[in-house]
Chains A and B, each alone.
Chain A
């Protein structure tokens, strides 16, 4: 299985901050990389697909980049509703695997 490693595991931030989360794959996955947001008690929500494509309806403060093994999710100016856990996921090969998650908390 392809291992996905996110960093950091958690971070404390303030509203308006720029937030960057990284995701590394154990082998090259081209751009078969997706990002999801999950709030407590809710199902995950797709934010970014194919590394850099914003899902319809997702605010433009979210962006993604990368290819091969290294990827980044950036929130340009954190809003109160963005406090959540974020997961990367590779869809290059079955079984699809997720990163361990990054919890974004209020400072």
Chain B
């Protein structure tokens, strides 16, 4: 069974750093891109970026570039999303998702349960 299990909720202060994780199981972790999606309180879904765990090739959305870092450790089938300096506006639920790609079709077929990040002074 394919599963993506994310790390638990975090409460941080502005300016602090944070790294959240997403562990894949039940499939070959290095054969699928992993994406990160943000959902701010009461709002819609925003694609932040994706990573190819095999060689850590990474693509970012323009709004995420320079503000977050996406990484992966293929030896433990885990992807990460990290901030060096959090802002209150980073308060959101963050989802990881597996990107299926093949036969000219691309979509997120499996999702993690989400990690709530709260940034408040």
B-contacting residues of A (Cβ < 8 Å)?
Answer: 1, 32, 34, 36, 38, 43-46, 49-50, 53, 55, 87, 89, 91, 94-101
Contacts and interface: CB of A to CB of B under 8 A. Distances in A.
A46 B109 contact: yes
B107 A94 contact: no
Interface residues on B, range: 20 to 34
A43 B59 contact: no
Contacts of A36: 45, 108
Interface in B19-62: 35, 37, 44-47, 49-50, 59-62
Pick the most buried of B97, B108, B111: most chain A CB atoms within 10 A of its CB. B108
A101 B44 contact: yes
Interface of A, secondary structure class, is loop
Given A87-B44, A94-B59, A55 B112 contact: no
Contact of B106 (A1, A38, A91, A95): A91
Contacts of A55: 109
